[in-house]
Structure 1
């Protein structure tokens, strides 16, 4: 069943923009001209669903589908990122791109200026709650009476909850969150971490976050369904027609379904296998300790660090592949591994994986050579290993802008890595790599350094 998605665009802002657009009309560039040029340019939003960069590779549900379309027609895919939803349409009308791939709501008022096409989706708002025993969960909207629901101030979620409260005769305790830096995804995280009990989100955002937090339920709808879609200019009907035909033909294919599964079904968290150390010899942390020791010198760090990275990436399982496509013991992306001379099945070879992982750590260590304190530098290296060095340099740039130290991780750059999940920070002109789920990177750094120390203690105890 196709995923239902809703991405509302501010109608007032769009209509003002459309009325005010003047200047030279962009040259018509329909599908025939696009094929001749060999390139398609999409206009998108940097977000957890449409487009982001992770481990230095472009990703996103909408991006992956656009890439599949381009690969099918032998086109190079170019990406332009809009600052906000209103700018999506402005950039399209100005001829800065061929196709909007962040779904916009289907509204009659816009049908005279754009063509809805391609990925067409339907969604609604849902209640986000923890998965407790069935009899203690909210299964009907009437059960929200007397419950505290946390909502971002002056958003569509806030308005819907106010209307629902009025429909029920009042009684929902609406906790209005006015802090600008708190996002919908922050509130979902707070539900998962038992800081609050309920919030509201679009179904697609809720489903994506369920792949990070296994203890949340997003099954209760709170609003009517609303359609949304990709869009092209009115003067490129052939492109719209081709997109519609491609989606009609490919929406049932294995490739299409795998993209859907990648973002909205596969768990983004490592498998917490409590027995992972049960079958290793006493005093060892894995079956690969000798290989970690063999290549530790290449990394510039002790072998326990390599072991800890491998544990975090794969739980010492050489055949594993992550949701993002990272493969093997050291969780290497195929494109990254290719730079170091290995590809394909080589990624699942434990020794080759550890060797390349050590080489990558050494390369990243060199990128942050200005950081004199080696323990602090390691944290930069681990953040870059996990999220990509571009996001770390973005966070350093933000630290400089806000008068923090760009060469200290703890309490400085660490803070801005987390803030890169918020539009006011990842859209800042000093950032070049857009959205990042920064809390995951910060947690990764903490877990790897903590497990490194635990692995050291295992060795010490075995010798005593």
Structure 2
């Protein structure tokens, strides 16, 4: 962006013209790591790594790029790292019977560089864009993907932007750890020079990745976000209803690379040699990414007038029962939308009934049966009792925060509490945080159960975040409905 920023100061009224492989569950999977991730600091260069026969790759759990499914790891990044593992063994350990293995350590994106510099991993493979701020902290390899643009994305109906100044005064949702956040701050510096209102940067939880935010835009939950062009090409086609404003890239000629500690020159040489010797298709493939994303769940527009109106009519019931059982009413609302679309008359093929879609046997466990289970109040109270039972019986560790307790309860609601609790215990053995769902226990559930509970909890969490963002809008809707009552 800095390339044209000064020209824009002079010509800001003119249109800006910008320059316009993985694996799938059907392919041979990567063996899931069966050793405890070594999270204790072990800074060392290539010689140390070869002696240990272990390279620790810090990654981010992201659909299409790195994820678990029933005992195996998949994704574009897994394929890149598998290729690097083979290359290291062929180049440095051709006669060794005991070969080097790459250990995958998934962490939150905002923790990647800290973990790397502390020696808790040897390299970062997470689609990081090379930025000046990041280069102050780490060293980057040769690019794996380039050139990359950063596209502002909206719903298709929004008239196309043709000048960067048209973003002035807009609200854009991104992660604080992303390169997009840095680009937007650079843009705001420009707007200050021009005397224009800034872009209002709305930060989202680090657990939400580009695909999640694009789904939220398509569903009308947030108006604008940003994505890298190599992801956007696929997501925009698969999700539908989105528009990338390609005439005003926040960044052009970007590069995605692996990150290494500044004191790992020999490992850097090896990484660069591997990248140089690899074909572009080996490192990245649109076709492979499309296949990996094909099973992603689509979000609905929970903030459209009809579903928002339905939520307003049942809000008091949700709030009353949530307060009674010490639950978050917005999380209950997100669960109800996922289960029934807020329709109390839905009945599933399995026999689940009511707005919370509980089986009669489950309702019986918590003392709500028959017609009462199908009523709005009865269904909500039964769900609250059941979640309270799950929380008090299985997830009552005081070290677990309120949001994570709800996430674990949702996972148990979907996959069964005994199963989730058993995997929570395994998480501790693997060096993961047993009290954190995303990026921790979530990994083991995906590994041993599959993607079903992961998609279930993830979708409800996105609905929950959407409701949190839109609480003022919901407050206004509720007040208007109450005022209209006779």
Q: TM-score per shorter chain, which class?
A: 0.3 to 0.5
Normalised by the size of structure 1, how large is the TM-score? 0.47
Q: Which has the higher contact order (CA 8 A, sep 6+)?
A: 2
